[in-house]
Structure 1
């Protein structure tokens, strides 16, 4: 198959790569051995060197081993961006166990589904969300919960001040530590010898179960091996960062590490022995203040984040010129935002595309070559792509013809955990069916033009209409419901629910939203509720989201 994109790679970017037989923990081991005094993390002003991070990972890995975690066991990690999530992640992988990274915003129903499906044996969590995590663990019979607090890796002063502030906000939780089932994260590592964990790990071993709706919207675990993750780190490095030298970079980690994009940022930082500046919450004032103080060189975000920074009051008085590398993904970045942000930093923004199923990145615009606005760019190194007819899934289409985007490469997942039928639909002869409708031009640049699936991209999160609709249908007053995404300058897409109430019932938007808030993570809650006497239905009795979308967009126009 012809690959026209290769001639548009930046100079010195290789067309193909031989991938070493590494595992993800090898990156941390190399950084700690080679640059032990290099700062690995900055969190709320506190710093850990690579040697300190490595030693914490070793101690925690041995603690997990003492609790019975062995190769192939699944460990749930439900933490915000903080040193503990890095320690837990690498310690789990170093034992040959499998990480199940989980969104801390999930409600109990969502946690129970994910952890039961993943067969999680142990959970690592944050104290302020312990009650809901404990309830789910008791329900599922999960053996151990390890609990940490934001303050655990802070300075002595902040270890006192942060709990006081949490108490003031009414969020403090008295965790019932018993040294058997409920254990302290710090208690498991303090004073222990940092000897290297011994485990027989292969690059082809499973590393992560990353949960995604895939092309159907039903949450399932994408099985990502060490080889998948290492390949994507190497691909991204050689395509975008090969002029960067080890220890020279500071990367802002505001994207959640529990997301595959945030995880890639973390692993890239380890590959470069870079400093990772961790932000627990995506608060724009904190982000701007951190940029001003710490002078990062990397900025990796989503369109909503770039827009929010530009709209921040007083941003013109903040020096952003330390940033020399910017990446954006998740959804198309408006040209006006690109122009403004590049004017503030002097650094080009590189737009990229990828999926959970592909370990992160599959397509990216060249940093120095031709950049086509609205395009997700070229297939990254050692990655093949093609467009096929969306109906038959086989016939390869010519340039500028719309069809389903297919991807093949070393970063593509092994399949979906315990979902053989869905795996067979998504992976055919090594090709990943993305569910996205795209076109390729004569130069090999790809553009996403529609979604075969009805997934909504809201604030950088994937939201699947069916999951929200299922919650709406549980409301006793709702007869029919449909959820769509409508364009939003702030969030990318705004989740909008159309509802037909049962005969004789009345309800308010606030009442419906309150019900959703109680049953969904906040980013899945509809921002707008539209009541209708009737909803467009197919002959099979299904609500036609497409018609609602067209009607809504027609009114907006």
Structure 2
């Protein structure tokens, strides 16, 4: 508090020297009126949500240190048999920060973290930030060739990985100028049964571990390290992390995010989730923390709230339900596939889901039917949000207690501006017209890692061009139609896959649906047509013919799928996003 007063005095002195004056409440009210005219969504924020959020000029790890000061005995992490308080978590982060510094990591150096949702990931993440290092988060897929390429791109000083990730360790050690390797494990914390199941999920063998000569033990390195703060000054504009995009449209790109970006999105997200109490919340953190959505919503924001993080390294339905029953989470950031699975679980009400207050669904469109069913089970609020790695990632969300619109991603969160521009000319479009969504705010990245051409393509005049086709209504609510690259052109007319999918979801026996464009031969010439893939609900029988009949009744002729393929499951990324590129050739 005293520090904030000191800074406030300094800002007042600066205004005086520069001839600026503090605005009166009347001027602010008038300005707010002008803002509402230009940004109609501001009039539809939920109660008690500020139009703008003050963003502290501090490094991200200050939130962890504050929680250790204000709620030292509050449980910070739960992971099977392990439980840490905020004081303990901060001390562990300090110890590993000293360890990394002793290994030669200097401000700006990269530390590659190839770990699932385990306590060591949280410790290594904050330790890296505390010494001004850059945490490289490559995504949750354990693809050795992809990870090796990302290591070549970012040239980390240190790699932190599971001892069982033998192929990765060997591949990285074979690079020119290889990083030092730090190894850790989860066997003792998780127990034998869970340990073997998790390794099977990641394609790792429990009886094949890297030899001691392959790397250093994280636990042994930290044993004698100081638990005190490393005392290194980290500027808010310093680079904090490089996160890789999902690569659904090509090779993943490394996104540079500063401490200021991550602090801003943490505060924006925290203020959007109203009625949360500092030191009183419990977050079920099952979305991968190495994905931008999980990093902000399941780690950074909960830590800023001094919430308890209940870590799970993967989504297994029975395990998730048992953890909900045992730990009574109040926050559950997830993806539609997770909420869909919970809705369909047998005897799901017996697990006490009513503890859940708020869920923001990300990474993929949230079907209305899934939202309504989940809210009936929990009595909490499940709203669709929107973001992208390049924006830390959250830019839009539906109000938890204000007006929510079916199928909409909601409105821009505080301190965020958004527009719809023409797909060809780039000119602003009025409400109701479809174009590309562009956004601006303190959470937007400074650029891609070592890729200036790609940076210039998406960052223009301070606006981030998302590549998503969307529409804004008169009240400022945005609806994503589709990725620009996913639009299907049939006989010169656009077909948006989501339009087809929403019709298929109307059928009571449909669990999941995806529409893609395929090239077929008609009259001796290639033509683009729509093909839909459908997963029936468990135990239900459905025929492609009845689904096609539904589409013919509800869609324009050019949008009706040429065929509907029934599947037991759809290919998805680790965060539940449907991988359409793997369907297009089927």
- Does TM, normalized by the shorter one, top 0.5? yes
**Cα pair 2:109 2:156 within 8 Å, conserved:** yes
| Structure 1 residue 421 corresponds to structure 2 residue 456 | no
**Cα pair 1:42 1:276 within 8 Å, conserved:** yes
Superposition map of 1:364-513 within 5 A: 364-393=397-426, 395-454=427-486
SS at match of 2:181: strand
What is the deviation of 1:166? 8.4
Distance across 2 between alignment mates of 1:161 and 1:338:
33
What is the deviation of 1:315? 1.1
Aligned to 2:361: 328
Superposition map of 1:18-417 within 5 A: 18-151=54-187, 154=189, 171-178=206-213, 182-212=215-245, 217-241=250-274, 243-264=275-296, 265-393=298-426, 395-417=427-449
Distance across 2 between alignment mates of 1:248 and 1:455:
44
**Cα pair 1:326 1:348 within 8 Å, conserved:** yes
**Cα pair 2:371 2:383 within 8 Å, conserved:** no
SS at match of 1:556: strand
**Cα pair 1:215 1:434 within 8 Å, conserved:** no
C-alpha change, 1:414 and 1:492, in structure 2 (3 Å) is farther
Distance across 2 between alignment mates of 1:308 and 1:421:
41
| Structure 1 residue 553 corresponds to structure 2 residue 561 | yes
What is the deviation of 1:384? 0.5
Worse-matched range after superposition: 107-116 or 209-218: 209-218
Distance across 1 between alignment mates of 2:58 and 2:447:
21
What is the deviation of 1:332? 2.2
**1:394-436 residue CA offsets vs partner (Å, 9 max, x unmatched):** x100111000000000000001111111111101111000000
**Cα pair 2:531 2:563 within 8 Å, conserved:** no
Residue segments in structure 2 that go unaligned for 5+ positions in a row: 1-36, 489-496, 533-557, 566-586
Distance across 2 between alignment mates of 1:443 and 1:426:
27
SS at match of 2:333: strand
SS at match of 2:355: coil
SS at match of 2:365: coil
1:15 to 51, 60, 63: 51
What is the deviation of 1:160? 7.5
SS at match of 1:41: strand
Distance across 1 between alignment mates of 2:116 and 2:240:
20
C-alpha change, 1:61 and 1:492, in structure 2 (3 Å) is farther
What is the deviation of 1:493? 6.1
Distance across 1 between alignment mates of 2:461 and 2:256:
17
**Cα pair 1:77 1:101 within 8 Å, conserved:** yes
Distance across 1 between alignment mates of 2:207 and 2:482:
45
What is the deviation of 1:310? 1.1
Worse-matched range after superposition: 16-25 or 29-38: 16-25
Aligned to 1:512: none
C-alpha change, 1:381 and 1:303, in structure 2 (3 Å) is same
Worse-matched range after superposition: 48-57 or 127-136: 127-136
Aligned to 1:2: 38
**Cα pair 1:215 1:435 within 8 Å, conserved:** no
C-alpha change, 1:495 and 1:120, in structure 2 (3 Å) is farther
- Give the number of aligned pairs: 485
Distance across 2 between alignment mates of 1:497 and 1:141:
44
**Cα pair 1:43 1:83 within 8 Å, conserved:** yes
Aligned to 2:8: none
**Cα pair 2:92 2:227 within 8 Å, conserved:** yes
Query: Structure 1 length normalisation: TM-score?
Result: 0.81
SS at match of 2:437: strand
Distance across 2 between alignment mates of 1:555 and 1:162:
41
Distance across 2 between alignment mates of 1:163 and 1:448:
39
SS at match of 1:300: coil
SS at match of 2:187: helix
What is the deviation of 1:556? 3.0
C-alpha root-mean-square deviation of aligned residues, in Å? 3.0
**Cα pair 1:151 1:163 within 8 Å, conserved:** yes
Distance across 1 between alignment mates of 2:511 and 2:112:
29
What is the deviation of 1:353? 0.4
Query: Structure 2 length normalisation: TM-score?
Result: 0.77
C-alpha change, 1:551 and 1:334, in structure 2 (3 Å) is closer
